[in-house]
Amino acid sequence: MNVTGTDTTNTPSSVTPTKMDGAHKAKLKKAAKQFESLFTSYMLKSMRKSVPESGMFGDDFGGDMLEDMFDMEFANQMSKGNSFGVAEMLYRKLTGESLEQNPEMLQMLEENGTLKKTLQPTSKGKNKIPFMKPSRSMEARIGQYQSIIDTAAETHGVDSTLVKAVIASESAGRADARSPKHAKGLMQLIDSTAQEMGVQNVWNPEENIQGGVKYLKQMLLKFHGDVKLALASYNAGPAAVERHNGIPPYKETQEYITRVMNYWQHFQEQETDDHE
């Protein structure tokens, strides 16, 4: 299926394909696939907005994250099959070749680590992976605590959009969230951490956010402002980060960092748009 309405079997005469070596073609192929995945994910989210929420993933604090993860994976699987032809069209216009013309080169680059290195998160925290945004209901819940978040962020010197990203990842904005490991509230504080941060009532949104932001600030200071290490510590504990001399090789922690960084980018862009 070709949603562009354009015949992609021939390169238009107005576009001159760029000469590239195998490595650049492999990178372009990957980027084209990622663009199609983003396009598909955006389309799915737009379609979801036009219908009532189904409750397929439940209404608990994990339901919104499951819904976002489902959309991401669904978009990935669709783009792998090149079902819409967007990646094919982009690649063909830039190279004059079919997207699947040289699959061996991409595999070779991935195996020797060259391409994987280019896909690592940048210093600004933006991941070159399918972007995951918080759901409408999640944003609405977090928005209820905006003034509390701003006050806590200013008090402890932490970016308020990062605080919102952590809340989105920890509890999806639900003040009554409780994890199987007994972490509680908006910022999922365990009892020992809550007590250490001076939180008397962990279920009180203002106290919970103040305590969570205070702890996040301590982790940022401990790891010299490295946001990813601070987040890894928030999720897995500072001892695990120190023991592994970096982000622990735990799938849960690595996915957590990716999720927070995605949400952080979203909230940063949202704040920029609001101020324009």
Are the C-beta atoms of 248 and 119 separated by less than 8 Å?
no
Q: In tens digits, what is the pLDDT along the chain, a chain of 276 residues?
A: 333 333 334 434 444 555 666 666 677 767 766 776 666 666 666 665 555 554 544 545 555 666 666 666 555 555 454 445 666 666 666 766 655 544 444 444 344 443 333 333 333 444 444 457 888 899 999 999 999 999 999 999 999 999 999 999 999 999 999 999 899 999 999 999 999 999 999 999 999 999 999 999 999 999 999 999 999 999 999 999 999 999 999 999 999 999 999 999 999 998 887 766
CA 248, CA 229: separation in Å to the nearest integer?
9
Q: Are residues 171 and 242 in the same domain?
A: yes
Residues 177, 253 within the same domain: yes
pLDDT at 44: 63
pLDDT at residue 272, rounded to an integer: 81
Q: What is the pLDDT of residue 82?
A: 45
Q: Distance between CA 105 and CA 90 in Å, rounded? A: 18
CA 207 to chain centre: 27
Q: Which pLDDT value is given to residue 117? A: 34
pTM over 0.75: no
Q: Which domain holds residue 171?
A: 136-275
Q: Are residues 191 and 162 in the same domain?
A: yes
Can you give the three-state secondary structure of 234-249, one letter per residue?
Answer: HHHCHHHHHHCCCCCC
Residues 253 and 159 both lie in one domain: yes
Last residue of a domain, one of 54, 84, 118: 118
Q: Give the count of alpha carbons within 13 A of 243, CB side only.
A: 10
Q: Is 149 in the same domain as 194?
A: yes
Rounded to whole angstroms, the Cα distance separating 104 from 95 reads 17
Last residue of a domain, one of 70, 92, 118: 118
Instruction: Round to whole Å and give the CA distance between 102 and 213.
Output: 49
Are both 101 and 203 inside the same structural domain?
A: no
Nearest C-alpha neighbor of 169 from the set 232, 257, 241: 257
Residue 100 annotated in active site: no
pLDDT of residue 4: 34
Residue 15: inside a domain, yes or no?
A: no
Tell me: do 154 and 265 sit in the same domain: yes
**Together in a domain, 207 and 169:** yes
Instruction: Quote the number of domains for the chain.
Output: 2
List 97, 170, 269, 276, catalytic entry: 170
Question: Does the residue 32 lie in any domain?
Answer: yes
**7 located within any domain:** no
CATH number at residue 253: 1.10.530.10
Do the domain assignments include residue 103?
A: yes
Q: Which of 71, 88, 118 lies at the terminal end of a domain, its last residue?
A: 118
